[in-house]
Chains A and B, each alone.
Chain A
Amino acid sequence: MRDRGETFRNGAIQLLLAVNAVIMIYPLFVMVASSFKTNAEIFSSPLSLPTHFSTANLEKVWTETNFVRYLANSVGITVASVALILLFSTLAGYAIARYQFRLSSLVLMFFLSGMTVPLKLAIIPLFIQLDTLGLVDSYLGLVLVYVAMGIPSAVFIMTGFLRTLPRELEESARMDGASELRIMWSIMLPLARPALVIVAIQNAVPIWNDFFFPLVLITSDNLKTLPQGLTVFVGEFTTDWGVLFTGLTLAALPITLLYIVLSKQFISGITQGAVK
């Protein structure tokens, strides 16, 4: 009796999950399939598979738009921002975690308070600030904003992690006469790799996907990021849906591939903070 009920229930659960999986995947499947179709095919038979794999849309995106440039900008800005976040927050976290000094807890509080501020709402003064520094419409201005946004939670994670490392390693190196820089760089930081990966992913995904800050801070077409470039692209090809779907597919591709390879790290990186 109980087994039968169990089988039925499990069947129902699997059905629910299957329906959900279709809802999540089918739109993406249509997006990819449509990118190989002509406009006429999409309008007349949107549900069918492409009759033949036409790469005409791809060529159009490649040759007639600034797509490659947007992609390169996004890669550059994301890499630079994440690198600086890792560097700055590791240094700061190391100081707070490994040394005792008078203002230590105050400094940590200052960083933590940064986590509560939605920087989007401070965009007006931020814009004026960057304008004064001559950094509006530049890579550096955007990168610095991302770094500022990423530092608080990164310092929090790094401090917490670095505190857990044993004192003994540091002590014995110090006995051997190693400099503080050397202790930090060659002994302690290599141990912090797992935390660095979390911080990197946690910051890279929102920076890669961000739209708001480039929208306000970047105006030159040559400096635009991928999400921002997509809006230009959609404006130019409004009625050419084949090209639009190709653009969306290409824009989604890099991070999707990376996600498929590193799904575990992505999930733990992004839900970090919400999952205690």
Chain B
Amino acid sequence: MTDGWRHAGRPFVWRRSLWISALLTPALVVMVLFVLWPVLSAFRFAFYDFNGLRPSGFIGLENFRQVLFEKPYSDWTYNALKHNVIAFLALMLFENGTAFLIAFALLKALPGHRIHQVIVFLPVVLSAVIVGFLWRLFLHPLFGLVNQLLGLVGIGAIPWLGNENTALGSILFANVWHWLGFPTLVLLAGMQRISKDVLEAARLDGAGDYALMTKIVWPLIAPSVTIVTILTFIGSFNWFEIPYVMAGLTGSPGGSTDVLGLYFYRTAFGSTTTGIQDFGQGSALAVLMFVFVAGVTAIALRYLRRREIEQ
């Protein structure tokens, strides 16, 4: 090995260890203090009753029992979970589906494709808070841009964010607008890695655009699809900012936009009306969310990777 100090005797070995430790220490200290310790504590806290900010007594699985099986908490948990699942499915279909189409269109490298990439990615760099507020204004029933435009074609005032049937969809739309550029460019990069020869050969065999898309491109970008799916899943289950900004802490109206992130935050840091905090129940929710997301991700990765290999 070409390590300079390797054969240089005892004092040098000493100094070498010191040097390496010095390089590693800052990063390790920060990680232990602000990642390792908090994460381990999160698991521990889920089994405790809290009085204010301090754990006051070990209560076993009580916090878990409450959030999973005791009404109304369990109703709230499943209501929020349902919306996370809907968000995931909707984003897979609309966000990633659109992204796939746009990426395929961009793959042709027609004039203007570069500027389009820059445009479609622009909202991605903006804060979710900006995007959320912007769409909240646009979706206002009386003065918002959307209803004003619809008014031109004779459609009356729709309370997008006020009606339970449209609120979640409206928030998802804002989310798609915000993030569309990300899967688009990831999928495009995947498509660009397909060798030119493969595409050429398919063309010579007389494959049309549709056949090219479904038979060649789709299977060959499996690794990118895996990544996008996993990231969408993690994103959907940690969803917080846009619902918070557009629908408030309670997931209004009537909890129809409540998601686990909001419910967790509300439980841990206090509801709007009373400020009642419950760190124990909050920790139980966090643990459940973590285990669920990590578990499903691990299983999905296995399954999706297998699809990649089979292709």
Contact = CB atoms under 8 A, between A and B. Distances in A.
A263 B39 CA distance: 35
B143 interface: yes
Interface residues of A, number: 93
B49 to A, nearest CB: 14
Nearest to A129: B38
A36 interface: no
Contacts of A147: 30, 34
Nearest to A183: B4
Interface in B66-116: 98, 101-102, 105-106, 108, 110, 112-113, 116
Given A111-B31, A123-B268, A167-B2, A92 B227 contact: no
Contact of A124 (B31, B42, B181, B238): B42
Nearest to A74: B127
Contact of B241 (A116, A144, A212, A276): A212
Interface stretch (B132-140, B153-161, B164-172, B250-258): B132-140
Contact of A208 (B120, B127, B223): B127
B121 interface: yes
A16 B138 contact: no
Nearest to A209: B127
A31 B27 contact: no
Interface in A164-218: 167, 170-171, 174, 180, 205, 208-212, 216
Contact of B129 (A14, A111, A144, A230): A230
B20 to A, nearest CB: 5
A24 B181 CA distance: 10
B124 interface: yes
Given A114-B35, A151-B31, A24 B177 contact: yes
Given A47-B149, A155-B27, A263 B118 contact: yes
A20 interface: yes
Where chain B touches its partner, the secondary structure class is helix
B227 A274 contact: yes
B30 A122 contact: no
Contacts of B224: 274-275
B145 A46 contact: yes
B102 A122 contact: no
A27 B138 contact: yes
B2 A171 contact: yes
B238 A24 contact: no
Interface in B249-283: 261, 264, 268-269, 279, 282-283
A251 B130 CA distance: 7
A238 to B, nearest CB: 10
A125 B42 contact: yes
A71 interface: no
Contacts, number: 247
Contact of B42 (A110, A121, A230): A121
Given A107-B28, A129-B34, A270 B143 contact: no
A230 B133 contact: yes
B247 interface: no
Given A111-B31, A124-B279, A271-B186, A24 B123 contact: yes
Contact of B122 (A24, A99, A114): A24
Contacts of B28: 92, 107, 110
A3 B185 CA distance: 29
A96 B20 CA distance: 9
A274 B186 contact: yes
A121 B126 contact: no
Given A16-B101, A270-B125, A275-B186, A21 B119 contact: yes
Interface residues of B, number: 93
A30 B105 contact: no
A175 to B, nearest CB: 9
A271 B30 contact: no
Nearest to A120: B238
A267 B185 contact: yes
B222 interface: no
B167 to A, nearest CB: 19
Nearest to A231: B129
A20 B180 CA distance: 10
A25 B121 CA distance: 11
Interface in B176-214: 177, 180-182, 185-186, 189-190, 209
Given A128-B41, A275-B189, A91 B110 contact: no
B47 interface: no
Contacts of A114: 31, 35
A94 B264 CA distance: 39
Interface string B204-240: 0000010000000000000110011001001000101
Contact of B126 (A131, A252, A275): A252
Given A125-B38, A148-B30, A256-B122, A274 B228 contact: yes
A21 B240 contact: no
Interface in B16-75: 16-17, 19-20, 22-24, 26-28, 30-31, 33-35, 37-39, 41-42, 45, 53-54
A161 interface: no
15 contacts: A17-B112, A23-B177, A91-B22, A95-B20, A116-B294, A127-B53, A148-B35, A155-B27, A171-B4, A180-B19, A211-B128, A212-B241, A244-B137, A260-B118, A267-B121
